[in-house]
Amino acid sequence: MMINAIKEVAPEYPDVVFMWGDGTEKLATNAGSYHERIYEAQYLTGIVAGNMTKTDKIAFVAAIPSPQVIITINAFAKGVASSNPSAKVYVEWIGNWYDPGKERAVALSLIHNGCDIITHASASDATGQTADEMGTYFISSGSDTGRYSPRVYLTGATWNWEPIMADITESVHNGTWNSQPRQ
């Protein structure tokens, strides 16, 4: 896991800056964290899900209960509620950022329980692939994985890391780096 690697290596290289996405814990004096505000886009994808569901059951496959994942789920659920107050979002946890087998099993479980729209917060493409195989509408999260589910892809919320990475790189180069860059 990235957090353990940074904790171990950062003190050995005090002149190198280490950055951790989604971090909340201060790992070393030369380590910082960053995250963007994807919750706004997740809210919008929730509106799409709320409008498209026929069963009023929407699935969310989630990696781990980190603050950012919970924020993402809440924003998505609020979007769903704003467009369809009768719909419910069903969340199941994978327990890891990357476990395609478990992610597929969780996605199948949610689909078999009547969810007709599915999204995720995880690092594999298994949710989208499973949705495509099952004919269940899919909303991507984090990156554009619609190419893995072309028959059922509705929309997605994608990261644009370029601005924050450019800011971090420039601040390190200029000697103005701060462990908590703008978000």
Q: Which residue has the higher pLDDT, 38 or 82?
A: 82
Q: Residue 1 pLDDT more than 70?
A: no
Q: How far is C-alpha 96 from the geometric centre of its chain's CA atoms?
A: 12
Distance CA 137, CA 176 (A): 46
137 and 106 together in one domain: yes
pLDDT tens column, 42-76: 999 999 999 999 999 999 999 999 888 999 999 99
Residue 46 and residue 31 in one domain: no
- Whether 73 maps to a domain, the answer reads yes
Residues 102 and 30 in one domain: no
**CB-CB contact of 116 with 136 (8 Å):** yes
What pLDDT score was predicted for residue 110?
Answer: 98
Evaluate whether residue 60 is within a structural domain: yes
DSSP summary character for residue 22: T
Please state, in angstroms and as integers, the Cα–Cα distance from residue 4 to each residue in 7, 10, 34, 116, following that order: 5, 10, 17, 38
Tell whether 88 and 53 lie within a shared domain: yes
Q: Are residues 5 and 82 in the same domain?
A: no
Residue type, 11: P
Q: Are residues 63 and 97 in the same domain?
A: yes
Q: Which domain holds residue 112?
A: 39-158
Q: Is residue 14 part of a domain?
A: yes
Whether residue 183 lies inside any domain: the answer is: no
Residue 115 pLDDT: 98
CATH number at residue 45: 3.40.50.2300
Q: Is 95 left (phi over 0), alpha (psi -120 to 50) or beta?
A: left
Same-domain pairing of 24 and 97: no
Residue 177 belongs to a domain: no
pLDDT band for position 180 (50/70/90)?
low
Indicate whether 28 and 103 sit together in one domain.
no
- Do 152 and 71 sit in the same domain of this protein? yes
**pTM above the 0.75 mark?**
yes
Same domain, yes or no: 44 and 114: yes
147 in the same domain as 97: yes
Residues 95 and 143 in one domain: yes
140 - beta bridge partners?
A: 156
Cα separation, 32 vs 6, whole angstroms: 10
30 part of a folded domain: yes
Q: How much is the CA Rg of the chain, to the nearest whole Å?
A: 18
The number of distinct structural domains making up the chain is: 2
Give yes or no for a contact between 65 and 93, defined as CB atoms under 8 angstroms apart: yes
